[in-house]
Amino acid sequence: MKLCQVTDLLPGYHRLTAGAEQASYILIGMLCERDQDVSVLSTRPLKQPREKFRFYSVPTLEDYLGKKLGKLFKAFKWAFLEFDPVAYFHSKRLFKKIKPDVVHFHAFSILSYSLALAARRLNIPTLFSVYDYGFFCPLNYLIDHEGEICDRFHGVNCVKCLPDDFPLGRRILYLLGTLFRRRFFNFYLSKIDLFIVLSKASAQTLRDYGIDKRRTRVVPYHLSQQKYIFREREGSHDNSVLYVGHIEFRKGLHVLLRAMPLVIRQVPDAKLYVVGEFTEEGYKKRIMRLIDSLSLEKNVLFLGRKPHEEVLSLMSRVGVVAIPEQWNSLTPVVLPEAMSLAKPIVASRLGGFPEYLKDGENGFLVNPRRPAEFAERIIFLLRNGEIALSMGRNARESLVHSINSHQSCEEMLHLYRSLKNYRRSRN
């Protein structure tokens, strides 16, 4: 089949990639291994990809507007419109040239949802893999201004969630945008034939928004690259904790930092390694103040952004992987990666985590807002090495049973074929 994958960014070819991009890149590799005819549409890369798939760079209007105007238009898209005329017409020409049987969208808000409109106007079936909730929450993660999980989705109420340092012009623009955002986004979502989510909890969130359950499918992560999946990597047990991900409120590093003094009191040489970059200046200041007030300078090490293989190598050596998510996460890729490396995990009890972890068997689930619970479980694992190793092995074993790379890829191919046949019937 001719398959077109659309993603804003690709690991190794763009700078700020994360779990969503890693997941899409793995799927692309799996499809190429199965001799599928794969094309990838993305934003301008740092270097031209040289892989089995064909790569097409799609320009956006921001590329031609200059820094200031480009930033303003990007905010305009984010606020409510999500239409980029340059990306729309360019992608439409590429779709005509490629003639794909199916277009699979991943994280593509930079290119804009207008690409879904372009595909529909050419009567090409579409899938959308959902990695965050940006299409019904401007901040992507359904947390309100008080830090509580939000079930009202986008609307005028979203203005309260804007950061205090948000520019006045953009604040006014967004206030106006809230009057129309839901209407515009629902228009684009109506052009998607099928939504792919990572957990039943995420599927329920889409249904709560109003997306028909017949248009959703739960498909686990595609973990196929043997360079790191299901390898025996039980490193030496040390007194370190690992956090991996963007450093922003929704990821919950502040909760983990508040847990660390309690951990250090029981395990004096414990250290927290933080892999990732700050995405919000206000949150960065908050974290730095917190570290200073808790005297954690010697126990918390910020490693910045690291290549994927280095992250996995570090993960294989730490004592505990902590995932303090503060939102109904669609399950970050760090979870199955840590499980595949047989690492003991302490994660938030929300979103899709309970579908992967059974508390006390293959990991620990705790209240996402309570640092003391994170500390208690981390201390237990660091002080009980044999139990920690056993729990890690259980995690890997459960992942082997729940995620079969061949099966998940075949499921995606089945969905592609079904949509291809659906287009024929629609014609």
The amino acid present at 366, given as its one-letter code, is: V
pLDDT at 203 over 80: yes
> Distance (Å, rounded) from C-alpha 210 to C-alpha 207?
5
Does 2.60.120.650 match the CATH number of domain 240-402? no
- Domain assignments of the chain as residue spans, ordered by start: 2-223+405-426, 240-402
Taking only the tens place, the pLDDT of each residue in 145-197 is 777 888 888 888 887 887 666 677 767 777 777 778 888 899 999 999 999 99
Position 423 confidence tier, pLDDT thresholds 50, 70, 90: low
Q: Given 1.20.1250.20, 3.40.50.2000, 3.30.365.10, 2.10.109.10, which CATH number is that of 2-223+405-426?
A: 3.40.50.2000
Q: How many other C-beta atoms are found inside a 10 Å radius of the C-beta of residue 149?
A: 14
| 246-281: b (≥16 Cβ within 10 Å) or e | bbbbbbbbbbbbbbbebbbeebeebbbbbbbbbebe
The mean pLDDT value for 258-282 works out to 95
Tell me which DSSP letter residue 44 carries. Answer: P
Taking only the tens place, the pLDDT of each residue in 324-369 is 999 877 778 899 999 989 999 999 999 889 999 999 999 999 999 9
Taking only the tens place, the pLDDT of each residue in 41-75 is 999 999 999 999 999 999 999 999 988 888 878 87
Q: Would the CA dihedral through 12, 15, 21, 24 be positive or negative?
A: negative
Residue 162 has what pLDDT?
75
Host H or E run for residue 413: helix 405-426
One DSSP character per residue, 112-164 reads -THHHHHHHHTT--EEEE-SS-TTT-TTSS-B-TTSSBP-S-SSGGGGGGS-T
Host H or E run for residue 371: helix 371-383
- Nearest-10 crossing angle of helices 281-293, 253-266: 20
> Distance (Å, rounded) from C-alpha 9 to C-alpha 303?
22
Topology agreement, domain 2-223+405-426 and domain 240-402: yes
Tell me which DSSP letter residue 278 carries. Answer: B
- Which of the residue ranges 226-230, 239-243, 349-353 would you say has the lowest mean pLDDT? 226-230
